Structure 1
C-alpha cells in the first residue's frame, strides 16, 4: 500500500516540515491558529519520490549523472544538465493512480469553493534550504493543467545552482526534498509583505508593511516601489509611510499572470485603508507571539469580499534581519574591528 502523499491543510502542523516542506507545514499551522488561509491541499515529498520511482525518471537521472562523471564540475555542463534533467522530468506523464488521486483533491477543492475549474497557485515547499528559487505557477485552471504544473514545480528543483549545490554537498542528484502547495487563487485587489522587525536595523519595536495593487509577485520580486508603512508595536500608530508611485502591477491573464499598467487614478493612492492596515498588524503580532520570534509574512486582500474576511495569508516564516546594536559605542567598536582586520 503506497504511503499517503496528499494532505488537507488542516491535517498539517509546523512539525510536518520533513513531510510536506516548510511552506505547507506553516500553512497547516496557520489554519490551526484560525488564520484565513486560501483553501487548498499539500503534496508531500513522498509524492515527488513516488513520481520519480514509478516513471523511471530517478533512474534516468542517476544514469545521466554517472555518464557525465567529472564533467559535471564544469559550470557549462551544469547548465546543460539542468536543461536536460528538467526536460526529462517534464516529458513524463504522472502515473495514472497518482493522477486520479490528485484529480480527486482538485475536484473536492472546486466543490468546496463552488467554482468549476477553480484557479489555483502551485507553489514549491522545500523541506530543506537549497540555492536557486524553485518556481511558482499562478492562475492554474483545470485538472490537466494542475498535473502539468505540479510536475514543473518538481522539475524546477534542478536549476544550475541547485545541481552545483548537490555536487558540493555530495547529495544524490535525483533527490529533492520538495513538497507542493496547491492553493485557491485570491482575486487580489492588493497584496504584499509584513515583517514584525525592521530587517536592516533589527528594531523589534516596529512592524513593516509593504504592498502594491494586484498580486503580490511585484512586491516580492522587487520590480516596483510599493507603498511602505512603519507601525509602532506598542501604540499601533503609523510612525511613517511612503506611498509609492505604483506604475505597474501583476494581474491574472486568461492563462497565467502578466504585468500591466496601474490606472492613473490609483498610482498615488494607498493600496490599503487604515482598518486593513491595522488588521494586518494585529494578526502579524499575534503570529509573532505564537511562534515567539519575528515573522516574515505575505498577505492578500480579496477584491470580492468585505472587511475583515477579505484578508488572506499565504506565507509565514521566521524573518531574516540584522542584529540591532545596543548603542552607538557597540557599532563603532565593531566598525573599528573590521577596519583593523582589513
Structure 2
C-alpha cells in the first residue's frame, strides 16, 4: 500500500505532488537548516484513501448529480454555499478508516514525545499540490489525538467550501474530488508573527526585504484582519530604511475560557509600539536572505517569533513559497547592475545629513 504519512524531515521539494506544496516546502526548509516547528504531513494518498474507501466521494457525486449553478454568475454563489455546507457536514461526519485513524494518532503521540508537551497544540494546515493561498482552511491550537483526526477531516472538507467549488466549476474540474495534503505542525508560542518578502512587493525591488507583522499569531496578518507594522530593509547593509508602526488594536489568540482561537483586544500599552525590535527585524532579514538563496528565487515567507527562546533561535518559519507577482517578471533592482560592494562603498562615502 502506498505510503501516505511522513515526518517533515522525510520530505523535501521533490515531494510537492506527494504531500502538497506547503508540506514539501516545510520539509525542504528543515533540510536547509531553517527552524521549522516539529510536525508531520499527510499526503494526497491519504485524502484519496479516505474519500474512496469510505464511499464519501461516491455519495458526494450522487448528491451533486442534479446540481446546477453558474460559477460565473454572482447570483448563484448562494447555491454553491448551500451545497458546500451539506457536503462538508457529510465529509466531517464520515468516520476515518480505522487503520488511518490509528496511524494519525500514533504520529501525534510521537510528536508529543518530541516536544515534551502533553498534549501538544498543533495547527492542521492545508497543502495543495498547486499553491492556492487562502482557498483551503487551517485550524489552530488543536489539542489531543481525537481532535487532530477531526481537524484533518475538516481541512479535507475545506476542499468543498464554496470558493473551492466555484473555482473547480469555472475550470470544468470534478466537484467531488480535489486531493490535498495536510500539515500537522506544532504551534509556536508566538510573541509576534507575520509575513516577509525578499523583494519590495510594491515595485519589485530585489535589493529590499519587506516585513509585515503584528502581535500574536500570524493569521491576523495573512488574512488582512489587522493593520500590521511594516519594515523595509536594505538587503546588503541591513539598514532599516522605512518603518511604519500601526495601531494594532486586536490580535488572534487562544481563549482559554472558550477553548478556541479568537480575535481579542490588544492591551493598550502594546497597540502603538513595534511588534519587533530592530534586532529581530535584522535577524528576520538574514533568515529571509538565506531562504531566497536556498530556493533560488524571491520568497513569500510566513514567520513567527517564539516567547520560549532567545534570538535568533526564537525565529520559526511556517511557510515559504515563491513570491507570486514580481518574482515571475524580469525585474531589474533599483540599484541597477551595481555590485553590492559598490553600493556599500557609496553609502559609506555619502555625507550624513543631520536633522535638527
TM-score normalized with structure 2 length = 0.87
Q: Supply the distance in 2 between the matched residues of 1:292 and 1:185 (Cα, whole angstroms).
A: 28
Contact 2:21-2:131 within 8 A present in 1 as well: no
**Counterpart residue number, 1:169:** 171
CA-to-partner distance for each residue in 1:65-109, whole Å, 9 max, x for gaps? 2233x4576544322221221111111011111100000000000
**Counterpart residue number, 1:52:** 51
**1:326 CA drift (Å):** 6.7
**Counterpart residue number, 1:330:** none
**Counterpart residue number, 1:340:** none
**Counterpart residue number, 1:159:** 161
Alignment of 1:264 onto 2:274:
no
Contact 1:200-1:321 within 8 A present in 2 as well: no
Q: Which of residues 117, 120, 124 is equivalent to 1:118?
A: 120
Alignment of 1:228 onto 2:230:
yes
Q: Supply the distance in 2 between the matched residues of 1:160 and 1:119 (Cα, whole angstroms).
A: 28
Deviates more, 1:126-135 or 1:310-319: 126-135
Q: Supply the distance in 2 between the matched residues of 1:212 and 1:59 (Cα, whole angstroms).
A: 44
CA-to-partner distance for each residue in 1:260-307, whole Å, 9 max, x for gaps? 222222122211112211111001011111222110001111112112
Contact 1:301-1:311 within 8 A present in 2 as well: yes
Structure 2 CA distance for partners of 1:19 and 1:324, relative to 1, 3 Å: closer
**Counterpart residue number, 1:149:** 151
Deviates more, 1:53-62 or 1:168-177: 168-177
Q: Give the CA RMSD over aligned residues.
A: 1.9
TM-score normalized with structure 1 length = 0.90
Q: Supply the distance in 1 between the matched residues of 2:330 and 2:81 (Cα, whole angstroms).
A: 40
Q: Which of residues 90, 106, 109 is equivalent to 1:88?
A: 90
Instruction: Count residues with an aligned counterpart.
Output: 326
Alignment of 1:61 onto 2:60:
yes
Q: Supply the distance in 1 between the matched residues of 2:130 and 2:298 (Cα, whole angstroms).
A: 20
CA-to-partner distance for each residue in 1:21-66, whole Å, 9 max, x for gaps? 1100000000000000000000111111111112110110111122
**Counterpart residue number, 1:140:** 142
Contact 1:132-1:161 within 8 A present in 2 as well: no
Q: Which of residues 275, 279, 283 is equivalent to 2:279?
A: 275
Q: Which of residues 287, 292, 299 is equivalent to 1:295?
A: 299
Q: Supply the distance in 2 between the matched residues of 1:272 and 1:80 (Cα, whole angstroms).
A: 43
Contact 2:127-2:182 within 8 A present in 1 as well: yes
**Counterpart residue number, 1:339:** none
- Stretches of structure 1 that go unaligned for 5 or more consecutive residues are 328-342
- Stretches of structure 2 that go unaligned for 5 or more consecutive residues are 334-356
Alignment of 1:209-224 (within 5 A): 209-224=211-226
SS at match of 1:116: coil
